[in-house]
């Protein structure tokens, strides 16, 4: 079973200098690629001069995470793709339990390892932690992270389980399944496109797994920080995109409740003196309406009877019922 580790890069020479060595040292089983999203720094020259064994894929434009990976992976032939962020430090034997799970579970299409915080290595990292889920209204949460509450890693999630979504920070997917799904939805640009991908995989019967025996450390926010209103825009817009495409029943009701909750979030940002984020939510909704026709057309192509949620509202669980850890849900 051949594996390709593909790192998407955009003006990330500093990150490549810091994190490529661990990938090279601990990924002997893999072919390593750097897919460059039309960088304007000297990232590519740095790789060519210092790591000639790494294969470079030159994308013609910066199409974000989604289009960037779609363009990069279309001509690769390895059985397994690992979509790896450039700000991740991998560990010894990180690929072994992943490949073992793929071999033993042929209906498993996508896998995520344990993702810990590079800066606080005994804590989970925001983007994925120990595997992801969403509530009825499309709000994502993880084992090890609910909203901004991050759990300490006390080996409580060292298992292998089925999850709803795997983090795009480090996502393993079968080549055949990636192509069967026509890749990531490029209209997302970045953020939540991996949840949409996993959701579509589950609709057609595949399993998504978390494998706690594999461990990586993620810086997080190296490309777009949480304080950036553009990240708020993408998260709120893409969540609406994802729900409209994939939610199986009562779509109007789900979107209506979600719009109300987003309005509350906008007010919260105002009270916190963050009007740029309130404006970002407003822009997200306007963009959603502008794209609604295309989203409904995409929805028609899916025959979905899948119940996508375990919790009705993680917002209520967290903010009202004060359930801040996964095991308290």
Q: State how far the Cα of 64 lies from the Cα of 76, in Å rounded to an integer.
A: 19
Q: Is the confidence at residue 226, as pLDDT, over 70? A: no
* Tokens of residue 268, six digits: 């919260």
Q: pLDDT tens digits, residue range 122-139?
A: 999 999 999 999 999 999
**What's the pLDDT at 155?**
97
The domain ranges of the chain are: 3-218, 229-328
Tell me, rounded to whole angstroms, the distance of Cα 190 from its chain centroid: 9
**What's the pLDDT at 32?**
98
* Tokens of residue 113, six digits: 């390892």
CATH topology for 3-218?
Spore Coat Polysaccharide Biosynthesis Protein SpsA; Chain A (3.90.550)
**What's the pLDDT at 227?**
77
Q: Is the confidence at residue 161, as pLDDT, over 90? A: yes
Q: Is the confidence at residue 287, as pLDDT, over 90? A: yes
Nearest Cα to 111, choosing from 249, 228, 214? 214
**What's the pLDDT at 13?**
97
Can you give the pTM of this predicted structure? Answer: 0.96
What's the mean pLDDT in 263-288? Answer: 97
Q: Is the confidence at residue 272, as pLDDT, over 80? A: yes
**What's the pLDDT at 304?**
86
Q: Is the confidence at residue 222, as pLDDT, over 90? A: no
Q: pLDDT tens digits, residue range 45-87?
A: 999 999 999 999 999 999 999 999 999 999 999 999 999 999 9
Q: Is the confidence at residue 285, as pLDDT, over 70? A: yes
Q: Is the confidence at residue 225, as pLDDT, over 70? A: no
**What's the pLDDT at 221?**
66
Q: E strands within 175-254?
A: 207-218
CB-CB contact of 62 with 35 (8 Å): no
* Tokens of residue 304, six digits: 């979905």
């Amino acid at each position: 079973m051949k594996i390709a580790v593909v790192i998407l890069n955009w003006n990330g020479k500093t990150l490549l200098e810091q994190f490529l060595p661990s990938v090279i040292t601990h990924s002997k089983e893999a072919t390593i690629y750097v897919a460059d999203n039309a960088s304007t720094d000297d990232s590519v020259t740095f790789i060519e001069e210092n790591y000639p064994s790494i294969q470079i894929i030159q994308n013609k434009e910066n199409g974000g995470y989604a289009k960037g990976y779609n363009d990069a992976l279309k001509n690769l032939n390895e059985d397994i793709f690992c979509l790896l962020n450039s700000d991740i430090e991998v560990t010894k034997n990180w690929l072994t339990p992943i490949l073992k799970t793929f071999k033993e579970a042929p209906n498993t299409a996508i896998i995520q390892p344990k993702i810990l915080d590079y800066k606080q290595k005994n804590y989970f990292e925001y983007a994925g932690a120990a595997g992801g889920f969403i509530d009825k209204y499309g709000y994502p949460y993880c084992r090890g992270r609910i909203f901004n509450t991050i759990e300490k890693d006390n080996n409580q999630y060292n298992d292998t389980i089925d999850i709803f979504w795997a983090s795009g920070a480090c996502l393993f997917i079968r080549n055949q399944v990636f192509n069967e799904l026509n890749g990531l939805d490029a209209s997302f640009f970045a953020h939540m496109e991996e949840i949409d991908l996993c959701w579509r995989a589950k609709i057609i019967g595949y399993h998504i797994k978390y494998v706690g025996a594999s461990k990586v450390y993620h810086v997080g926010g190296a490309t777009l920080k949480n304080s950036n209103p553009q990240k708020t825009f993408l998260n709120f817009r893409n969540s609406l995109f994802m729900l409209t495409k994939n939610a199986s029943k009562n779509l109007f009701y789900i979107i209506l409740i979600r719009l109300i909750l987003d309005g509350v979030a906008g007010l919260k940002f105002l009270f916190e003196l963050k009007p740029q984020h309130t404006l970002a939510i407003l822009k997200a909704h306007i963009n959603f309406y502008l794209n609604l026709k295309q989203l409904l057309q995409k929805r028609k192509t899916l025959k979905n009877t899948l119940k996508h949620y375990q919790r009705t509202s993680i917002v209520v669980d967290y903010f009202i019922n004060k359930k801040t850890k996964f095991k308290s849900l």
